[in-house]
Structure 1
């Protein structure tokens, strides 16, 4: 599975966890079915295992917004990208940000990509 597809599947799994009582294993079972991908599994478990720290880092870079007030797609994409940028560090920063923006254009609304870019850029600058 290509990394873009793995990120999209991770978005779906983590979105499902965020919006329901499913745990990571249940969500992966329903969403990825027979597909097994180490990168996808690493993202899902990484976000779940570090979610409190990730959410705190995201919240510190939101202006006039709370994490819970964000659209679920944007919140989940920010969690994935934050995990990749600060915990996984397997892909270059610009690739992680560009992928998050592109996925936001597919799954979010017209402004999601710009919003994701702004938050992640602020995070990297440490502002």
Structure 2
């Protein structure tokens, strides 16, 4: 597994755990890092994904639900939902990953963690969402707070 794919995998596992339990993302990540050896930059990348996706899960889910109408979101497997959330955050919210790369990485995670039909499902939903990338980015437009200089997502 490529290093950044491994970091995404780690973030996916943490988000999955948080979806199923009341564990905090921080506690889940700390527990995962006991079993993983990752370069500092990759740990930061995984944290960036977790800290980017976790607070806006509902808003990401709203966009995903619009592009998977035949699958009500509560019927989509938890792992599949989190794969979609990560990719959508990467290419449309944070803009840190090109669309094609984010989709390909999501498909790789789907092959590893999802059911046999998950890669095709993930590809279809993300392909539709990619067409709305600018609209989604506007929804999550970053604003910087003048008081502390920290970046937050306005939605």
Q: In which range does the TM-score fall when normalised by the shorter chain? A: over 0.9
Match of 2:117 in 1: 111
Name the CA distance, whole Å, in 2 between partners of 1:110 and 1:76. Answer: 16
What TM-score do the two structures reach when normalised by structure 2? 0.77
- Once superposed, what is the RMSD of the aligned Cα atoms? 1.4
Q: Which has the larger radius of gyration?
A: 2
Gapped runs of 5+ residues in structure 2? 133-155
Name the CA distance, whole Å, in 2 between partners of 1:98 and 1:17. Answer: 24
Offset at residue 32 of structure 1 (A):
2.0
Task: Identify which range, 49-58 or 96-105, moves more after superposition.
Answer: 49-58
Match of 1:28 in 2: 29
Gapped runs of 5+ residues in structure 1? none
Offset at residue 10 of structure 1 (A):
0.5
- SS of the equivalent of 1:45 reads helix
What TM-score do the two structures reach when normalised by structure 1? 0.93
Q: Determine which structure has the larger helix proportion and give its number.
A: 1
Matches within 5 A, 1:77-88: 77-88=83-94
* Displacement over 6 Å in runs of 4+: none
- Cα offsets for 1:69-99 (capped at 9, x unmatched): 1011101101111111111211111000000
Matched, 1:63 2:69: yes
Query: Aligned residue pairs: how many?
Result: 126
Kindly indicate whether structure 1 or structure 2 has the higher relative contact order, using CA contacts under 8 Å at least 6 residues apart: 1
